[in-house]
């Protein structure tokens, strides 16, 4: 019988695999990508909520910023990312202040990432504007991921500007934001404000300008969060990048990842399903071997090409074929 790409007895092969190694799967590498899931650093709402959970309902913590500790956590994550040479082709971030600040601190340029005030013209350690122009008329070729921000006691931590020099692209996505509704800390600010604060972040997927999803009377159910999370993963699967960092929130990450690994070993489930600590990062492999993924690859879609593949046969000889 000539060789064929089709399995002659797929049911027998599948039955045998399930009897020998039921939890092992093989997928061509170009149908996989590594996702580095990150929860934001400590926010002012976290501190208040630990004192009294009802504080999450206070407008004092609307779209909460990172505390000084939160900035330090994100900075330390950035040092870890650099030390292990973590491959990141794209940073996807939830459109809330604490996630955006964590993302730029952890994955932004380390040259501009200084957590404390300086003595520059604006009092925040960097005198450049959003386009990168300096006070003396010089130019920085890279736009700012975040402009310098002034501190406000109990609400916002002073921080220098952060450059996008040498960084992967950043894109904000509404689907990976925190548990929506009731808690003001989870209500996003207008996109127009974010664009001023984070000039190098792409906000084209966050629309409209004002938050149309958050309401004061309804908080998403667990099922609603899971459905949103699964839609987000389907979007990630269509991206051309193979190594993606996602900076998001505890409830979103927990309820999304709880959809997977239910039959896995207890230790594996523990790694996937436990609640994230502030600024914790875990890396998982996302795969999609569906007919839709194969069709997209065949049509030259967003699926990355397997650069490791070697055709063999006559292709390996250099002879006509």
pLDDT digits (tens, 9 = 90+) for 143-168: 999 999 999 999 999 999 999 999 99
Q: 285 has which bridge partners?
A: 34
Answer yes or no: are the C-beta atoms of 94 and 177 closer than 8 Å.
yes
Largest CA distance in the chain: 79
pLDDT tens digits, one per residue of 126-147: 444 555 544 444 445 789 999 9
Q: Are 181 and 132 in contact (CB under 8 A)?
A: no
Is 36 marked active-site? no
Query: What pTM did the predictor assign?
Result: 0.86
Choosing from 72, 174, 178, 220, which is the catalytic residue?
178
Residue 23 pLDDT: 86
What is the strand order of the sheet 170-172 is part of?
Answer: 201-202, 170-172, 90-93, 243-248, 32-39, 281-287
The domain 27-109+142-298 is placed in CATH, from the list 3.40.50.1240, 3.40.50.720, 3.40.47.10, 3.30.450.80, at: 3.40.50.1240
Q: Of 36, 40, 173, 254, which is the active-site residue?
A: 40
CA distances from 263 to 22, 85, 229, 272, 273 (A): 10, 32, 20, 12, 12
Say whether 174 is catalytic: no
Give the pLDDT confidence of 63-105 residue by residue, as tens digits. Answer: 999 999 999 999 999 999 999 999 999 999 999 999 999 999 9
């Amino acid at each position: 019988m000539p060789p064929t790409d089709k399995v002659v007895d797929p049911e027998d092969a599948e039955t045998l695999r399930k009897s020998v190694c039921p939890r092992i799967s093989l997928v061509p590498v170009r149908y996989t990508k590594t996702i580095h899931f990150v929860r934001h650093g400590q926010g002012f709402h976290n501190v208040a909520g630990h004192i009294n959970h009802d504080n999450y309902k206070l407008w004092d913590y609307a779209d909460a910023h990172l505390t000084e500790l939160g900035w330090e956590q994100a900075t330390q994550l950035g040092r870890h990312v650099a030390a292990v040479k973590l491959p990141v082709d794209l940073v996807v971030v939830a459109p809330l202040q604490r996630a955006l600040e964590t993302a730029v601190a952890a994955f932004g340029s380390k040259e501009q990432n200084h957590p404390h005030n300086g003595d520059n013209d604006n009092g925040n350690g960097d005198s450049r504007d959003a386009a990168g122009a300096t006070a003396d008329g010089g130019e920085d070729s890279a736009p700012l991921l975040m402009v310098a921000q002034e501190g406000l006691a109990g609400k916002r931590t002073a921080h220098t500007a952060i450059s996008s020099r040498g960084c992967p692209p950043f894109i904000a996505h509404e689907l990976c934001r925190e548990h929506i509704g009731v808690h003001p800390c989870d209500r996003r600010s207008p996109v127009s404000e974010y664009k001023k604060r984070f000039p190098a972040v792409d906000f084209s997927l966050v629309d409209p300008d004002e938050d149309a999803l958050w309401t004061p009377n309804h908080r998403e159910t667990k099922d609603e969060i899971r459905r949103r999370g699964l839609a987000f993963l389907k979007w990630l699967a269509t991206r051309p990048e193979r190594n993606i960092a996602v900076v998001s929130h505890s409830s979103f990450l927990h309820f999304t990842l709880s959809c997977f690994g239910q039959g896995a070993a207890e230790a594996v489930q523990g790694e996937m399903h436990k609640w994230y600590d502030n600024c914790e990062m875990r890396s998982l492999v996302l795969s999609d071997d569906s007919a839709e993924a194969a069709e997209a690859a065949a049509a030259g879609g967003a699926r990355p090409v397997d650069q490791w593949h070697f055709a063999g046969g006559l292709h390996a000889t250099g002879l006509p074929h």
